[in-house]
Structure 1
């Protein structure tokens, strides 16, 4: 099967584009790319990102039946080497990859990303992709002005992100409505979670000010990891909805410090932990 290498623009807003990546990994893989010259810490850009994300989710839900969404992005980091665990970097400007998840999906994104970039199969034949992209473009246009914000659960009872033990045992620092905490079971030393102080289940229900604060906290995390571990950038992901693997009903971004000379790729550690790959001999891994 030939690999499609050119991306397709499916929708555009004031500051963001919804694209089909040239190296799309699944049927429901699209990317939100920031326009040149825009900055994520601009409240208008942050508000437009939230609107674009809601449009993206609504379109994927309408066309593919997606009821969960995986989100992956790099921060001052370009996936190096085999790129295990991350989508291929295709653009110079920031991009957020969104994976629509369905009950009957043909392949799980994590299984594809557990393979080296050069070994990843194309998600679809070019003709199949073209037909699907036309349907998605129509769905995104239909939801461009009316994608609803999901209701956010007002009751934090039992939420692992809201309990007093988070502030007591895990919190590293907080500012402007967003906190940085240490995971209970970190994958690597350079691993934190970033989450809003407010009880919010889905990123689609975040406020623009919280997105701006997220950006500043990620800058702080990068500096912190750089000082302590020599990290030069960050890899980040979150799961939106049970279908995508969200277990805690509170938005939380998993953040890893990355560098070209890192001793371990955190996504290889994660893949072994969740059983996606198994180690066959020192330094090599096979899909389970």
Structure 2
């Protein structure tokens, strides 16, 4: 795999840090916090309910593995793990994905403000917020390399 199709986007292999049978872990182009990554089924499927039982189980087990690594690597004390399932829920890429965001005490004034931050990081009609500067391929590749070291990677 040299690229991975995430909805309509092509993700370069260097941005992938985790692979299981049915799931990949990728770094985020426009993270809202250091270590904000995505867990994505390999099959391009828009909604959580469209996944098979095996894909759903693999997604959740992968999220747990990735979450443990992210929590350790970024020295955080908690994680926000969220799936925006459909456009009215804030999903901007029509491909099931779980956000894993490292959390520390006091990182947001009110704990649930993180959800507003996720929403504010996007514009209406499913287009990424142009105000948030995307990271370079080099920055994303470096982060993926650091995280990849924690996993047996194919």
TM interval, short-chain normalised? 0.5 to 0.7
Q: 1:53 to 1:114 in 2, by over 3 A?
A: closer
How far residue 96 of structure 1 moved from its aligned partner, in angstroms, is 1.5
Given the two structures, how large is their TM-score scaled by the length of structure 2? 0.62
Structure 2 CA distance for aligned equivalents of residues 64 and 28 of structure 1: 7
- Is the 8 Å Cα contact of residues 32 and 97 (structure 1) preserved in structure 2? yes
Gaps of 5+ in 2: 1-8, 123-128
- Is the 8 Å Cα contact of residues 83 and 97 (structure 2) preserved in structure 1? yes
- Asked if 1:131 corresponds to 2:142, the answer is yes
Partner deviation per Cα, 1:244-264 (whole Å, 9 max, x = no partner): xxxxxxxxxxxxxxxxxxxxx
How far residue 56 of structure 1 moved from its aligned partner, in angstroms, is 0.9
Structure 2 CA distance for aligned equivalents of residues 137 and 62 of structure 1: 14
- Is the 8 Å Cα contact of residues 38 and 100 (structure 2) preserved in structure 1? yes
- Is the 8 Å Cα contact of residues 26 and 109 (structure 1) preserved in structure 2? no
Partner of 1:12: 19
Structure 1 CA distance for aligned equivalents of residues 19 and 27 of structure 2: 12
Q: CA RMSD in A?
A: 3.5
Which has the bigger relative contact order, CA under 8 A and spacing at least 6? 2
Partner of 2:120: 115
Given the two structures, how large is their TM-score scaled by the length of structure 1? 0.37
Gaps of 5+ in 1: 80-84, 145-288
Structure 2 CA distance for aligned equivalents of residues 18 and 128 of structure 1: 16
How far residue 105 of structure 1 moved from its aligned partner, in angstroms, is 5.0
- Asked if 1:52 corresponds to 2:57, the answer is no
Map 1:78-157 → 2, pairs under 5 A = 78=87, 86=90, 89-90=92-93, 92-103=94-105, 105=107, 109-110=114-115, 112-115=117-120, 117=122, 118=129, 120-122=131-133, 127-139=138-150, 141=151
Q: 1:115 to 1:101 in 2, by over 3 A?
A: same
Aligned length: 129
